[in-house]
Amino acid sequence: MTEGPSATALIGSLPVSRPFIAPEELAVRAGHSALLRLGANESAFGPAPAAVAAMRDDLARVAWYGDPESMKLREEVAARHDCAVENIVVGAGIDDLLGLAVRGYLSPGEASVCALGTYPTYAYHVTGYGGRLETVPYDDDGKVPLEKLARTAHQRGARIVYLANPDNPSGSFAARPALEAFLEELPAHTLLVLDEAYADFVDPRELLPAPINPRVVRMRTFSKAYGLAGLRVAYALAAPETIATFGKIRLQYGVSRIAQTAALASLAEPGFVAGVVREVARGREEYHAFGRELGLATLPSSANFVNFDIGTRERAEGLVAALLARAVFVRKPGAAPLDRFVRVTVGTAEERAQFGVALAAALEDVGAKAPA
């Protein structure tokens, strides 16, 4: 093997990483046949009935490639955002689009800035494409430190700043005025990659409006409120030049036919998503109430999950393990100061009740109540 093919110097230098251990694997490890899935912010409310019907009708045609331009879906998305199809590119999930952004705008050795411990796939791409990742810790209240991000971007000459808004894993949200001020503070040559995976859970008037600022790429997904995570479909909204750049390197046939079908049908049933958003808001309130009852502080959240303060990293890790032993899958933020929290996806009413019981019991298991 020593004289055989070898990976490039960059790829050879990368660690073999497992950014996520899937619930399927955790179930096997813990000896459960199934888990209550509250760890990956999947929608407990499933896909829209119209999407299921449209997929069922299209199953016989999965032998056909999807439209490489996703034209019908882009037309519908453009109408919703009051922009042109040239402002939209469809990808196989935001993970895919993040890779295109990094590959397109960050040369090896160049700097990118994000919050320490935010959605890890962004960092995975920066490292994987040879960029330099500069991070700024969250504020202790779970907020993304926008001023520090902007300052670091200037200091490091960052080509890209990544912001998840609402943020994952914290759930915090910077509304439009704060976001617009942040954008003004960024260096002029810096691209803001705005991951709006959870933006369907906030009032659209709090988001950036059309027309599209050429210094921003906004990314939206059908994985969260729309309940289509298992299909891989998302889109980016940006200036036509930016979209054209993504188009130079994207997989032309990368978005599956069935995902296009389901996304389009979902957009035609807005009442379903509105109902999901309402139920998620109700579920967040229940989770905050669980926290109060159990003496656990919770972070405000604008997304479909809530973070419970377990006091210390060790206690939080113990609680995740204790919940897994009770067949409940949750995850926790990995980096200080949020590593003392456990992040729990909002489930259905029944799942929330199950979780409430399991949480109380798991806290007993680990003796991990937060200090009074």
Phi, psi for 334 (deg, rounded to 5): -95, -20
- DSSP reduced 3-state for 149: helix
> Is the Cα torsion angle 222, 20, 167, 86 positive or negative in sign?
negative
- Beta strand ranges found along 273-345 (DSSP E): 305-309, 328-329, 341-345
Q: Select 38 or 296, whichever has its Cβ closest to its own copies.
A: 38
15 lies in the binding site for its own copies (CB under 8 A): yes
Tell me which residues in 309-368 interact with its own copies (CB under 8 A): none
Q: For residues 227-266, which are near its own copies according to CB under 8 A? A: 227-232, 239, 241-242, 244-245, 247-249, 251-259, 262
| Nearest alpha-carbon partner for 103 in 197, 196, 10 | 10
User: For its own copies, what does the binding mask look like between residues 31 and 70, x meaning CB under 8 A?
Assistant: ------x--x-xxxxxx---xx--xx--xxxxxxxxxxx-
Of residues 152-211, those binding its own copies (CB under 8 A):
159-160, 188-191
Collapsed DSSP state (helix, strand, coil) of residue 272: helix
β strands within 210-332, DSSP E: 216-221, 234-237, 305-309, 328-329
Window contacting its own copies (CB under 8 A); options: 120-128, 175-183, 289-297, 352-360: 120-128
Cβ nearer to its own copies, comparing 165 with 242: 242
Q: Which position among 104, 169, 311, 347 is part of the footprint of its own copies (CB under 8 A)?
A: 104
What are the structure tokens assigned to 228, written together?
């289509």
Count Cα atoms within 13 angstroms, Cβ side, for 102.
26
Binding-residue pattern over the window 79 to 98 for its own copies, x denoting contact by CB under 8 A: -------------xx-xx--
Q: Residue 13 in 3-state DSSP?
A: helix
In whole angstroms, the minimum distance from the beta carbon of 368 to its own copies comes to 28
Q: Which is nearer to its own copies, 4 or 177 (CB)?
A: 4
For the bound state, the minimum distance from the C-beta of residue 170 to its own copies, rounded and expressed in Å, comes to: 21
Which 8-state DSSP code applies to residue 213? P
Q: What is the rounded CA–CA span in Å between residue 300 and residue 308? A: 10
Residue 142 binds its own copies (CB under 8 A): no
107 binds its own copies (CB under 8 A): yes
